[in-house]
Structure 1
Amino acid sequence: MRESIEVVIIGSGPAGLTLANLLQRAGVGCVVLERQSRTYVEQRQRAGVLEHDGARLFEEWGLGESVLAGTTAGGMLEIRLDGQPRFFDVAALAGGRAGRIVPQQVLVGRLIEAFLAGGGDLRFEAAEVTPHGLDGSAPTVTYRDTAGVVHEIACAYVAGCDGFHGVSRASVPEGALTTYTYEHGYGWLTVLADAPAPYHPLFGIHPAGFAAQFARGPGASRFYLECAPGADVGEWGDERIWEQLRLRLGDAGLPTGPITEKLFVEMRCFVADPMRYGRLFLVGDAAHIITPMGGKGMNLAIADAGVLARGLRAALREGDERPLAAYSETCLKRVWDHQEFSRWMGEMMHEAGNATLAGPFRRQLARARLERLFSSDAAARAFADLMA
């Protein structure tokens, strides 16, 4: 079955759905192909905080009410050093720029509803998605639907929003991209539990290792526990998890609940340069991976989508190719800024607690770094500016 559309979007995570909604409002035709089911996509829980600039992007494109309705502002962090709480007011120190507490599954669900309500074309369970002719002037994308019918979609551009392991970046010839990687030397056990959410995002710095707790809805929490690289999730039973969380978060009475998910996360970074090959544009995790520290992953994906939407609108509606040509350069400046911040924050949070990670000297350096956030207004504002 042969079809044609201006833009084919591969992937329906925050990047793909944001781009689809923005293109819809720009009057640019697009179709979204997603290999998973709608139920899977709407239940997938990852990030939980939308930055100030992300919220502004949705408001500027007329999506504020449908996407952000009922969400709460989040501008305060709690940092517990050896069990002693300290509070850091990001919004106040960043000139009132507060983020929004928006669990990813809520954001994705609302973006799906908004896109479909506007007549959008979103195809779930699309198998064998494959881009073709990306280095020419008339690319196509093929896929097989649930009935076994093969579709071929001709388009002007392809947006690869299908994550680190997706087909988009894998379709780029070897050597066309320069890739940068970094391993942090530790991992995180990430735990999703039906446990009461903290009032503020919570970071625990302790000699036993780093821990954190973030809201994923009023009755759900995402916990993080520092562990050795390549840790076996099977060695982390529920009892051990709660024991370590109580210890590292300095809360003997930490409310518990059923654990619904355990995953090991390699703390690694990845950046592809450029974020484009011919008529293919890489968006979000397809182009870059960042550690969860600082909550930048979903926000970088949404920012990429905003830059690409403006570039595609200019190229397809105004005949101006310049914003599209600058897509990679524009996005990578933000990507490297956030990579540097995430690395800096990760070092401070982990090394200030765990002396075995980098040695006693670096532990004292990390503690000095942390103390400066609460003793120097200039240091606090610089940290808040990047956090916001």
Structure 2
Amino acid sequence: MHSLFHMPADQITFAMVQDFVGLRIPENLRIEYKTSGDKSLEGIAAMANTNGGILFYGVSEGKTGVPEEIVGAPHGTREALVNKMATIFDPPWTPEVIEIPIDGSSDKVVLLVRIDPDQVPRPLLHQGTVYVRLEGRNERATRLLLLAMLTEPAKFENPLPQLGLHLPRQYEVPPQGDLVLRAVANINLHMLRGRHRLPRGTSRTVVEALEQSPINEAVYQLMFGRTDMEPATSPWVPIQATATRVRLAKEYYPTSPDDVNVDERINVYCTVKLHGAQPLLEVVLDVVADLAQGDTAVFNDIEKALPSVARSAAAYVLPRIAQAATGLSGGPDPTTSVFVSGPPADLASEHQKTRYQRSSLLHRNARDLALYVDFTSLGERVGRDSISHGAAEVLPYEINELGWGGAVREALITMAMDWGFTEPRLLQHAKP
């Protein structure tokens, strides 16, 4: 967490505010930028009713919620703002309002309104309305949210999504997979605390979302982009369905007029799960490749394919299921993470074990991704330890600024550095 959230007020300088604005962090659950107007009070009330945060008064924002410029506010704005909060909020309440003079200006200041959610008399009404903070915006509280705030305040204290780094072994990855690309997207649906089931028709909704998603692009890039064969596919098939969990699968395989018995396959598995007391809605999308005899994937293909996997899970399937469950078209941005993995040692396919058994270096660990992936494009690597898997979070502000390709690229850079590539060379992605 940035120091502005907890540093004593008398130690905060204008340079620190400049540094924060220079990070270009877009508006989110705990950050808002305002220059003037009563919308500031709405934002303060919304954060107070949710997770708290900081409202920067005197900082302009762009179309995507990214801060653009410190324009400041006139002297006397702090007193006016405090007086408004004391009279308009019900019950009367004021958070900490820190006034910071702008260097080189005798009549302008920046205000930091710091909201500690533990100090708020919830629910806090603004002109008779209860507002809550969603990802980068304020919304009127629904009846269910208001009831939760009144009857279960402890459970409402932190509805932020929690990141769960699920490795492929933990989620029933098929044993024959030589290479697994995974994306996990989740979001807390705190307004559904009383309901512990997925909406009816979830399987159909998932299929519709996947058919509109770029998941096919990921599969074609990973396999068919490296062959001259035409792809064939099976339909999406439900393989598990309960009140809280749905799992579907689809198979892709290359065919050609001369040889239809090609042993290269890609299976895609989509798992949707609702679990926990929050509850947490989670989408796990796995692209599982069985490589042809003697073949390896090129890391550049993974670079190109993984953004489509992540985008399909977080921007297509998850929002559709969340909307079906809540009836709301908006909500906080999901927490998204991506993974690259080979098969577990005890589940590695037999032909992979035998074909590499002469290599004493690589066969020390049958899960070594170097058996299945050519990492040459990443550059020089320090150390000779095997690479079993990689995992990294995809950050929301990087998605906003760089697009899915650029944001996943940053996650892959983290993985590569964990693998020992101190200066990894990755492809540049244009923002879609």
Common topology (TM > 0.5):
no
TM-score (norm 2): 0.24
Bigger relative contact order, structure 1 or 2 (CA pairs below 8 A, ≥6 apart): 1
Tell which structure's C-alpha radius of gyration is larger.
2
TM-score, structure 1 length as denominator?
0.26
Instruction: Select the structure that is richer in helix.
Output: 1
